[in-house]
Amino acid sequence: MLYICSQIVGFIGFIISLIAYHRDTKEKIFKSMIIANILDIVHYLLLSAYSGCATKVMALIRNIVIVIKEKIKFLQSVLILAIFIMLYVLVGIFTYNGFWSILPVLAAIIYMIAVWNGDEITVKKAAFACYFLWLVYNIFVFSIAGIVSNTIAIVSTFVAVRREKR
């Protein structure tokens, strides 16, 4: 029953994140992603997939900071970016459980760097690449919701990027 609940929560989070990358501003993307991250935290926690769970906790904090950093000058500092990267590395160390457990952390670092000062198209391109890393992780933790959602998200984000180029 716990596994089924984890998959339901995972699919709801996926639907919200899928919609996010079709939003037209960076702020709208990240507000939607905050909600999706909360659901993902629950999803990975229910699966005992602690690397994914901890990475999503950090992603939640990251997305909140990115939304408000435009208004608070101190949060725009490259020092904040460096702190986040160091925290992600610590998450990777503390949740290490084989090579596959590093993949969410690697994806998060790539995404963090891309979104720090990137525009909407840069954010979407980074997400596209990171979905592949999450796909492999989800295969290892047997997250059917994650596997399906990452596969669909790869296609959907590709379409969003192509549409943005036009």
Q: How far is CA 1 from CA 8, 38, 144, in A?
A: 11, 20, 14
Q: Which residue has the tokens 């790539």?
A: 110
This prediction has a pTM of: 0.83
pLDDT tens profile 39-49: 999 999 999 99
Amino acid 74: pLDDT = 86
User: Which of 166, 54, 158, 155 lies closest to 107 in space, CA to CA?
Assistant: 54
The pLDDT value given to residue 29 = 85
Task: Give the count of alpha carbons within 13 A of 34, CB side only.
Answer: 13
- The secondary structure of residue 75, as a DSSP letter, is G
Cα-based angle 127, 151, 142 (whole degrees, multiple of 5): 105
Element containing residue 74 per DSSP (H, E): none
Residue 164 makes CB contacts below 8 A (sequence gap 6+) with 120, 121, 124
One-letter amino acid at 40 equals D
CA distances from 53 to 61, 76, 118, 157 (A): 13, 26, 25, 23
pLDDT digits (tens, 9 = 90+) for 1-38: 899 999 999 999 988 987 887 888 877 887 888 899 99
